[in-house]
């Protein structure tokens, strides 16, 4: 690393003098994940960027990995390696994860500038709601048992032509209409184009006439 370059703590970078600060280091990992879903942590560097170096024994890296695994939920699998900075041995931990919120020692934290702050219950609730927003929408949820044969290709063809577009094929048209998620049909696909949607939604009424229009533009 360039000797003129000095590391500085930020919202995605945490510096610790040594592995004696492993617990607050793990809290920083969680705080950064909850804010940015990825970052780095170094052991052997003061928070002002001064390189001190870190003693590394035979089991040091393994011990760090085990402590992270035991105290962060959901589990993450960071890259932990020995690095040389300005001729001194340090430990670099690079981590990422999208399964927010993450918890360290049973508590959730968020990164603000270079500080780790405990998430309030309201903030935690909002984070969970944002994560699951699409799953909370019934129309975009996956209709687990539905397959293409359960839909009317003729209805799909009509809506594509009504939008002034050329019909190419069944599957592609459904994707452009955002009616396929993770390779599965959505509830909206079955309601709009199902041959017998009442088979899947027995308590619903389907006496609505078919209208050749869509809220999803077909490009």
30 and 119 share one domain: yes
56-87, pLDDT tens digit by residue?
Answer: 999 999 999 999 999 999 999 999 999 999 99
What whole-number distance in Å separates Cα of residue 197 and Cα of residue 110?
44
Q: CA quadruple 50, 53, 54, 55: dihedral positive or negative? A: negative
Is residue 96 in a domain?
A: yes
Q: Are residues 24 and 121 in the same domain?
A: yes
- Looking at 131, 160, 180, the residue that finishes a domain is 131
Q: For residue 204, with 0-12 CB atoms within 10 Å meaning exposed, 13-18 middle and 19 or more buried, which class applies? A: exposed
pLDDT of residue 5 exceeding 60: no
Q: Based on the domain organization, do 101 and 169 belong to the same domain? A: no
Instruction: List the structure tokens of 219.
Output: 């490009």
Q: Are residues 147 and 124 in the same domain?
A: no
The answer to whether residue 176 is domain-embedded is yes
* Contact in structure between 194 and 150 (CB atoms under 8 Å): yes
Whether this prediction's pTM lies above 0.85 is answered by no
**One domain, residues 55 and 145:** no
Residue 211 domain-assigned? no
Q: What's the total number of domains in the chain?
A: 2
- 3-state secondary structure at position 88: strand
Radius of gyration of the chain (CA): 26
Based on the fold, state whether residues 86 and 166 are members of the same structural domain: no
Residue 36: which domain range? 13-131
Domain match, 142 and 127 both? no
Say how far apart CA 29 and CA 93 lie, in whole Å.
9
Q: What percent of the chain lies above the pLDDT cut of 70?
A: 86
DSSP label of 46: -
Rounded distance between C-alpha atoms, residue 186 and residue 19, angstroms: 48
Q: Which of 2-11, 129-138, 194-203 has the lowest mean pLDDT?
A: 129-138
Domain presence at residue 6:
no
DSSP 8-state secondary structure symbol assigned to residue 19 = G
We report the CATH number of the domain holding residue 78 as 3.30.950.30
111-143 per-position pLDDT tens digit: 999 999 999 888 888 888 777 765 567 788 889
The predicted model gives 162-176 an average pLDDT of: 83
Per-residue tokens: 42: 């170094």
Q: Does a structural domain hold residue 60? A: yes
């Amino acid at each position: 690393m360039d000797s003129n370059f000095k590391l500085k703590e930020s919202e995605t970078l945490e510096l610790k003098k040594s592995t004696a600060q492993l617990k607050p280091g793990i809290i920083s990992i969680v705080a950064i994940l909850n804010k940015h879903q990825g970052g780095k942590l170094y052991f052997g560097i003061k928070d002002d960027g001064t390189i001190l170096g870190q003693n590394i024994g035979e089991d040091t890296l393994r011990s760090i990995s085990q402590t992270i695994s035991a105290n962060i939920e959901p589990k993450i699998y960071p890259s932990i390696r020995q690095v040389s900075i300005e001729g001194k041995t340090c430990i670099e931990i690079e981590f990422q994860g999208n399964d927010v919120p993450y918890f360290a020692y049973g508590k959730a934290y968020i990164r603000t500038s270079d500080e780790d702050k405990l998430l309030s219950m309201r903030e935690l609730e909002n984070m969970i709601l944002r994560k699951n927003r699409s799953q909370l929408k019934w129309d975009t949820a996956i209709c687990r048992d539905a397959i293409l044969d359960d839909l009317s290709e003729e209805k799909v063809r009509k809506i594509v032509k009504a939008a002034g577009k050329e019909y190419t094929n069944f599957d592609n048209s459904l994707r452009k209409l955002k009616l396929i998620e993770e390779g599965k049909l959505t509830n909206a696909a079955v309601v709009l184009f199902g041959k017998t949607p009442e088979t899947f939604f027995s308590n619903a009424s389907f006496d609505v006439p078919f209208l050749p229009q869509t809220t999803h533009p077909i490009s």
